[in-house]
């Protein structure tokens, strides 16, 4: 399935496995229900990722995270935003691997997904065919700065920019004799 990261289309080095049989796959994404079994079979040098349903509590996933290189969160529909909150929680517990949104997202959700901690978006063929990569990149840049603190760099945050402006103004006035 077509894959995007913040810079555009990207090749997918991961292989989806239907079950826990991942013997010859160097980087395998397994469904959540087979994760424990797949990890038992993991061989040295092999990367394992998991595809989780969007109703999985983060607390249940957390014990596995240190051994995972990728977490893909299923978006059953673009209108189902649970994955955004899951991504935030998974990042909060310290997961530093690839976080992937998997499902029929729309270009207008790209910036949101990246802000919530996703690295990549994996689209069904039909969605990708209708929405060319340029649209995703344009939509990503719709807002140059946003209001919510903690969802991206302070440079792109309006409250942080206001704070920086206050600090600068205070420094200037202190420096003025």
Partner 1 sequence: MYRYDEFDEHFVRERVAQFADQVSRRLDGSLTEDEFKPLRLKNGVYLQLHAYMLRIAVPYGTLNSRQLRRLALIGEKYDRGYGHFTTRQNLQFNWPKLRDIPEILGLLADVEMHCIQTSGNCIRNVTADHFAGVAQDEIEDPRPTAELIRQWSSAHPEFSYLPRKFKIAVTGAEADRAVIKAHDIGLRLRRHPDTHETCYEVSVGGGLGRTPMIGKVVRDYLPKKDLLAYLEAIMRVYNLEGRRDNKYKARVKILVHEIGAEEFARRVEAEFAQLDGPSINADPEEVARIAAYFAPPAYETLPAVSNTLEAAKASNPAFARWVEVNTAPHKVPGYTALTISLKPIGQAPGDASSEQMRVVADLAQRYSFDELRVTHAQNLVLPHVRQRDLFAIWQKLGEAGLAEANIGLVTDIIACPGLDYCALATARSIPIAQAIQQRFANEARQREIGPLGIKISGCINACGHHHVGHIGILGLEKRGIESYQITLGGDATENAAIGEILGPGLAAEDVPDAIERIVAVYLAERAEGESFIDNVRRIGLAPFKAAFQETTRAAA
DSSP string over 56-67: --HHHHGGGGGG
Q: Is 120 in the site for partner 1 (CB under 8 A)?
A: no
Using CA atoms, how far apart are residues 90 and 27, in angstroms rounded to an integer? 20
67 binds partner 1 (CB under 8 A): no
Interface with partner 1 (CB under 8 A), residue from 92, 124, 168, 171 = 92
- In whole angstroms, the minimum distance from the beta carbon of 22 to partner 1 comes to 29
Considering the complex, state which of residue 13 and residue 150 has its C-beta at the smaller distance from partner 1.
150
- Residue 123 tokens read as 């689209």
Q: What minimum distance in Å lies between the beta carbon of 165 and partner 1?
A: 9
Which of 20, 29, 51, 86 is the binder for partner 1 (CB under 8 A)? 86
* CA nearest neighbour of 120 among 6, 34, 38: 6
Q: Can you tell me the distance from the alpha carbon of 31 to that of 61, in angstroms, rounded to the nearest whole number?
A: 12
Which position among 161, 164, 168, 171 is part of the footprint of partner 1 (CB under 8 A)?
161
Taking the complex as a whole, the smallest distance from the CB of residue 174 to partner 1 amounts, in Å, to 16
Report in angstroms how near the CB of residue 39 gets to partner 1 at its nearest. Answer: 25
CB atoms within 10 A of CB 166: 10
Q: Which of 35, 68, 112, 122 binds partner 1 (CB under 8 A)?
A: 112
Distance CA 130, CA 153 (A): 31
Residue 156 makes contact with partner 1 by CB under 8 A:
no
3-state secondary structure 2-52: CEEECCEECCCCCEECCCCCCCCCCEEEEEHHHHHHHHHHCCCCCEEEEEE
Among 9, 13, 26, 130, binds partner 1 (CB under 8 A): 130
Residues lying near partner 1 in the complex (CB under 8 A) are found at: 55, 78-82, 84-86, 88-89, 92, 106-109, 111-113, 115-116, 130-132, 135, 138-139, 142-151, 158-159, 161-163, 166
């Amino acid at each position: 399935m077509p894959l995007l990261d913040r810079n555009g289309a990207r090749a997918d080095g991961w292989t989806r496995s239907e079950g826990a049989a991942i013997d010859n796959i160097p980087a395998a994404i397994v469904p959540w229900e087979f994760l424990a079994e797949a990890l038992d079979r993991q061989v040295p040098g092999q990367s394992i990722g998991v595809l989780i349903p969007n109703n999985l509590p983060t607390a249940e996933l957390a014990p596995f995270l240190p051994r995972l290189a990728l977490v893909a969160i299923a978006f059953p529909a673009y209108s189902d935003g649970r994955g955004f909150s899951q991504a935030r929680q998974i990042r909060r517990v310290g997961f530093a691997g690839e976080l992937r949104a998997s499902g029929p997202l729309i270009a207008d959700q790209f910036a949101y997904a990246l802000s919530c901690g996703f690295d990549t978006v994996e689209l069904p063929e039909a969605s990708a065919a209708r929405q060319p990569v340029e649209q995703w990149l344009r939509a990503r840049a719709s807002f140059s700065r946003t209001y919510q603190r903690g969802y991206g760099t302070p440079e792109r945050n309006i409250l942080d920019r206001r704070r920086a402006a206050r600090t600068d103004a205070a420094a200037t006035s202190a420096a003025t004799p």
